[in-house]
Amino acid sequence: MEESAFFIGNYSQSGREDLEDLELYDQVNGIGVGAFYACPNLSRVVLNKNLNYVSPLAFAACPSLKEVDADSNIIALAPNAFARGQNDSQDQEARDLARKILLKNVSYKCEDGIVYNAKWRSLLFAETLDLRSLVFPRGTKSIGWYAFDGCEALEEIDIPPTVEWIGERAFANCSNLKKISLTKSVQQIGQAAFMNCRSLEEFKIPKGVERIEAFTFSGCENLRAVEFPSSVKCVEEKAFEFCSNLEKVTVSKWCQIEDGAFDKGVEIHRI
């Protein structure tokens, strides 16, 4: 198959009926979101030795996929990369396969219910969705895509001061999460990171975060207060949709607020 030298784009090969046995070229180092989504006849995949990351839903909804061979150099692998469907982020079978692939690399460990990379100091995802407490490995710098999506037993989380990046949907659908503490080390919070955290009542955005991405707090129906630092330059569309208890927010006068970022009726006070 033909592909770019380094990256297979988001949904670029999705739906292809001609793909059955896929072996990636050595030049490829990244597979985008849904790159091979819904390829009905894809039965075998060989991930090349130079591959660095496999994005969410990369091989999702491929019903014939039975075999995945992988080298040991992958840095990041989304837990739903091999999910049965697009909305199957909580697919335990897919999570188990991702874990199996990663643990071929000696840099990866599975302790206290989470898979992480000691070399890159990256936390990838929870081993199972019934995780009740979260112990961060020492020196954790990043929390991966969908890392704890659907971990409903989590109620309180203290993010250590070494964490700089929180990935897309990292804590989405943690319906009982009441409190999460972030430090100023966090520079980026991914899209939908706290979506549908229905028990969350307040949130303090760390200084240094510049964008509140789309859907970040969507569906946080009990969210009553959000503290915005002056560093926030943009609040994207639907960032706070369906936050029915949020009545007023205070942001910098320089902050760009996109249409639909907040529900109608939310009072926006600029300073």
Whether residue 201 is found in the same domain as residue 99: no
CA distances from 37 to 21, 47, 52 (A): 15, 16, 19
Whether residue 91 is found in the same domain as residue 205: no
Whether residue 211 is found in the same domain as residue 93: no
Sign of CA dihedral 151, 144, 92, 238: positive
- Domain range enclosing 120: 111-271
Whether residue 181 is found in the same domain as residue 140: yes
Number of helices followed by number of strands (H, E) in the chain: 1, 22
**pLDDT digit string (tens) for the chain, length 271 residues:** 444 569 999 999 999 999 999 999 888 999 999 999 999 999 999 999 889 999 999 999 999 999 999 876 788 899 999 998 766 666 889 999 999 999 988 889 999 999 999 888 999 999 999 999 999 999 999 999 999 999 999 999 999 999 999 999 999 999 999 999 999 999 999 999 999 999 999 999 999 999 999 999 999 999 999 999 999 999 999 999 999 999 999 999 999 999 999 999 999 999 8
Whether residue 32 is found in the same domain as residue 136: no
Whether residue 207 is found in the same domain as residue 230: yes
Whether residue 76 is found in the same domain as residue 185: no
Whether residue 141 is found in the same domain as residue 95: no
CATH of the domain at 267: 3.80.10.10
| pTM confidence score | 0.90
Whether residue 27 is found in the same domain as residue 98: yes
Alpha helices for the chain (secondary structure H): 92-102
| Total count of domains within the chain | 2
Of 161, 164, 129, 146, residue with least CA distance to 89: 146
Whether residue 121 is found in the same domain as residue 248: yes
Query: Hey, is 158 helix, strand or coil?
Result: strand
* Single residue among 61, 81, 105 that ends a domain in this structure: 105
* Single residue among 57, 79, 105 that ends a domain in this structure: 105
* Single residue among 75, 105, 135 that ends a domain in this structure: 105
Whether residue 101 is found in the same domain as residue 118: no
Whether residue 89 is found in the same domain as residue 142: no
